[in-house]
Amino acid sequence: MTKVLIVDDHAVLRMGLSLILETTPDFEAAGFAENGRVGLAQVEALQPDLVLCDIRMPEMDGIEMIRQLHQTHPNLPVVVLTTFDDPEPIQQAMRLGARGYLLKDADKETIVNTLKQALVGTVSLSPELMTKAFAQPESAISLTPREHEILQQVAQGARNIDVAQKLHLSERTIKAHLTSIYNRLGVESRAEAVAAALKLGLID
């Protein structure tokens, strides 16, 4: 059973998300928090498998919560759920390692699919949010065949060591290729690279 911690300052939304999880096989709402500060405490107390959090909350917002979780629980998947589609928080959340970004009006199927993808390490960002967050001219960006091959593996959740073993390369070589990919796409993290490449149609 996948335990999900719901962090949002609106009680009605927390109840709605809880209902979605409780009516979905293999998911349960492990706990709730009304802001990032309480959310961090709940992560320690409940040890959830995934965190679903809002961006804008009182006392401590979602960005700061994700930043601290990235330091203390780097492997804990975080999916951001918000009504705001401003590109800056999208970029911040993805840069800090969030694995998904959903608008609060997303339907049950979209929410559940995004959570499932986050659990296996796949980054999920809706086409509308990709367009807002990574509005770069497609004609100016391209990847080499090797970079494409590596990023395709990363998009499927493979770690550097997994990619290195599959392609018979060293981890150092994989890291060098990823640095080149980041520079080409104008991003700073694996999550951003995958989201930008998907938006630009550079990977499947």
Average confidence score pLDDT of the chain: 86
Q: Which of 10-14, 47-51, 133-137 has the lowest mean pLDDT?
A: 133-137
CB atoms within 10 A of CB 201: 9
CATH class in words for 2-134 = alpha beta
What's the pTM?
A: 0.65
The CA distance from 40 to 71, in Å, is 12
The CA distance from 22 to 19, in Å, is 5
Q: In what order do the strands lie in the sheet with 124-125?
A: 27-33, 2-7, 50-53, 78-82, 100-103, 124-125
pLDDT tens digit sequence for 102-151: 888 888 898 898 899 888 887 777 666 666 565 554 445 678 889 999 99
Q: What is the mean pLDDT of residues 73-85?
A: 83
The CA distance from 57 to 156, in Å, is 32
CATH 3.30.70.100 assigned to 145-200: no
Domain borders along the chain are 2-134, 145-200
pLDDT value at residue 139: 45
